[in-house]
Amino acid sequence: MKMLHLSVILLTLSGVLAHSDWGVNYPNNPICAVRGFSVSIPCSYYYPTSKPNIQVTQKLWCSMNSNTDKCQNPPYVYNSASITTSDFEYAGDDKSDCTLLIHNVQFSYSGEYRFRFITDVSGGMWTGEPGATLQVADLKVSLIRLSGIGTLKQGDSLNLTCDVNCTQSSSQFVWSKNNERLNTSGPVLHFPAVTVRDSGSYTCTWKTNRASGSKAISLLVEGGWGVNYTTPICAVRGFSVSIPCSYSYPQHNYQVTQKLWCSMNSNTDKCQNPPYVYNSASITTSDFEYAGDDKSNCTLLIHNVQFSYSGTYRFRFITNVSGGMWTGEPGQILQVSDLKVSLIRLSGNGTLKQGDSLNLTCDVNCTQSSSQFVWSKNNERLNTSGPVLHFPAVTVRDSGNYTCTWKTNRASGSKMISLLVEGDNPENPDHWSVWMIVVVTGGLIIIILAIAAVIYHRRFLCERRSVHIEQQKEDDSDIYANAQQKEDDSDIYANAQQKEDDSDIYANV
């Protein structure tokens, strides 16, 4: 006994086997995992740092379900010396991290797991006891009817409940419908009264910071027989409109075989007989296009709308069961309106001049609550909204093509008006031709002044010298030369004129 005591002290002094220097840390509480999903078991280990050159040579993980001797012998679930692919993946390192990832967790994986590491120091090995505890739970999503029996019908009340038979403090439930995340959290989705639109696939995802899992359940709510239309719809003549429509029938037992749309302007018997504007059994190209489906969407698109298209439209569908057919009444009302853009002079008359005041007004003879006016100038969107563009004083720069676009969420239309504002000099609206006139006129004045100066100079010389005929002659030829000069100048002037004319032609174009 004394000998042993002594040897422990000696070993401790040597710094190799001091118990406080060796260890493995696991989470204190059991870890929950969901069957079929992955879980990470966090783990860290340490050994004496006084000997900086200790090398970890082998890492082992054991399941205490199968291992009976503190992980000193096989079987191991992980052995760094002989790696095989399995559900158990070492996500740590050979310094201090011994995290274990377990994939595709099974109920049989529940239990205690221990980590053992072996170093290159003689006797330098350690198994962390007790190990980490893993609990494998089942994730269940169930539908609890709170009212009604049989197939789900509109108005029935129910709960979708997500259940994990494992208690983990910081867990979280997330719901999504058709892969789109829902706002609700918590394990229960409550439906006070389901509608056809609630049909879909619901997924509950359970999450902790170590594990997660999810399960889906599908909800099928059957509608009665019906077609839903909306409030009267406005369209603009010449443009397209989308007529939203939805319909329902007990989808379990019936299948839609034919879809029909009728205009009550031409059809007189609830759409049971022709004429149809759309017939899925005999499709022809026309302004009427079906944009719906065989299940619940009966949206109709109408292109190039005419005034004569105003009226009531009804949808009818026929199923594979005899007698299983339906016409939605009263129908959808369509109003076709005209889009007008007008220029209202607030001052001045005749051609538009700078400083005139005016309004451009966009007008649709149809009242749709959520409509919007968008203006653009030469195809560039303007900031203003609303039906009126107000110009307190127009300038030449306001000239251009203005387009008013009227929009609702179902229809749109646009119309253009051209605005031409004339400048101060109506015949030469172009700035550079005005400049040409200034330059040419300026040039002429300088030339005339120069000629005058030369003539004056000659006369002055004549008076000073005695008059010789030869000299007089010479002077004359000089004047002649000046005249030549003048001619040349006038040529330049003529060219400038020509140029001006060109610019006029350009302006007219």
Ligand X SMILES: *[C@@H]1O[C@H](CO)[C@@H](O)[C@H](O)[C@H]1NC(C)=O
Measure the CA–CA gap between 365 and 373, rounded to whole angstroms: 14
Backbone angles phi, psi at 270, to 5 degrees: 55, 30
The least distance separating ligand X from the CB of residue 450, rounded to whole angstroms, comes to 45
Complex with ligand X: residue 232 or 274, whichever CB lies closer: 232
Complex with ligand X: residue 218 or 365, whichever CB lies closer: 365
Burial of 503 (0-12, 13-18, 19+ CB in 10 A): middle
Binding residue for ligand X, selected from 96, 147, 165, 484, defined by CB under 6 A: 165
The closest alpha carbon to 92, from 135, 56, 134, belongs to 56
The least distance separating ligand X from the CB of residue 328, rounded to whole angstroms, comes to 8
Complex with ligand X: residue 25 or 40, whichever CB lies closer: 40
The least distance separating ligand X from the CB of residue 462, rounded to whole angstroms, comes to 59
Q: Tell me the site size for ligand X, rule CB under 6 A.
A: 48
Binding residue for ligand X, selected from 7, 73, 283, 307, defined by CB under 6 A: 307
Give the per-residue contact string, 411-440, with ligand X (x = CB under 6 A; - = no): -------x----------------------
How far lies 37's CA from each of 104, 136, 144, 171, 215, in Å?
5, 10, 25, 15, 11
The least distance separating ligand X from the CB of residue 244, rounded to whole angstroms, comes to 7
Rounded-to-10 torsion of CA 448, 452, 457, 458: 100
The tally of CA atoms less than 13 A away on the side-chain side of residue 202 is 27
Span near ligand X by CB under 6 A; candidates 3-11, 38-46, 59-67, 182-190:
182-190
Binding residue for ligand X, selected from 137, 141, 325, 447, defined by CB under 6 A: 137
Binding residue for ligand X, selected from 6, 72, 107, 452, defined by CB under 6 A: 107
Binding residue for ligand X, selected from 170, 349, 385, 508, defined by CB under 6 A: 349
The first and second tokens of residue 10, run together, are 């000696």
What residues contact residue 71 under an 8 Å CB cut-off, 6+ apart?
A: 60, 61, 62, 114, 115, 116, 127
Sheet strands side by side (includes 358-364): 339-345, 358-364, 388-391
Measure the CA–CA gap between 390 and 134, rounded to whole angstroms: 74
Measure the CA–CA gap between 418 and 368, rounded to whole angstroms: 27
Residues from 351 through 410 that contact ligand X (CB under 6 A): 359, 365-366, 378, 383, 388, 390, 400-401
Burial 226-243 (b: 16+ CB within 10 A, else e): ebbbeeebbbbbebbbbb
The least distance separating ligand X from the CB of residue 190, rounded to whole angstroms, comes to 4
Burial of 375 (0-12, 13-18, 19+ CB in 10 A): buried
What residues contact residue 368 under an 8 Å CB cut-off, 6+ apart?
A: 233, 234, 408
Complex with ligand X: residue 381 or 457, whichever CB lies closer: 381
Measure the CA–CA gap between 269 and 275, rounded to whole angstroms: 10
The least distance separating ligand X from the CB of residue 258, rounded to whole angstroms, comes to 13
Measure the CA–CA gap between 331 and 229, rounded to whole angstroms: 7
Binding residue for ligand X, selected from 99, 335, 371, 372, defined by CB under 6 A: 335
Complex with ligand X: residue 22 or 375, whichever CB lies closer: 375
Binding residue for ligand X, selected from 58, 65, 299, 503, defined by CB under 6 A: 299
Q: How many CB atoms lie within 10 A of CB 260?
A: 24
Span near ligand X by CB under 6 A; candidates 123-131, 137-145, 205-213, 258-266:
137-145
Complex with ligand X: residue 18 or 374, whichever CB lies closer: 374
Span near ligand X by CB under 6 A; candidates 80-88, 118-126, 188-196, 258-266:
188-196
- Chain CA centroid to CA 471, Å: 93
Binding residue for ligand X, selected from 50, 72, 178, 297, defined by CB under 6 A: 297
Residues from 214 through 273 that contact ligand X (CB under 6 A): 223, 226, 228, 246-248, 253-255
Complex with ligand X: residue 15 or 226, whichever CB lies closer: 226
Complex with ligand X: residue 390 or 459, whichever CB lies closer: 390
Complex with ligand X: residue 14 or 165, whichever CB lies closer: 165
Binding residue for ligand X, selected from 38, 154, 280, 354, defined by CB under 6 A: 154
Burial of 438 (0-12, 13-18, 19+ CB in 10 A): exposed
Q: Does 339 bind ligand X (CB under 6 A)?
A: no
Q: Bridge-partner residues for 318, per DSSP?
A: 258, 325
Sheet strands side by side (includes 172-177): 180-185, 172-177, 200-207, 212-219
Complex with ligand X: residue 253 or 351, whichever CB lies closer: 253
Check if the beta carbon of residue 348 is closer than 8 Å to that of residue 329: no
Q: Which residues bind ligand X (CB under 6 A)?
A: 107, 135, 137-138, 144, 146, 154, 159, 161, 165-166, 183, 188, 190, 195-196, 223, 226, 228, 246-248, 253-255, 291-292, 297, 299, 307, 310, 320-321, 335, 337-338, 344, 349, 359, 365-366, 378, 383, 388, 390, 400-401, 418
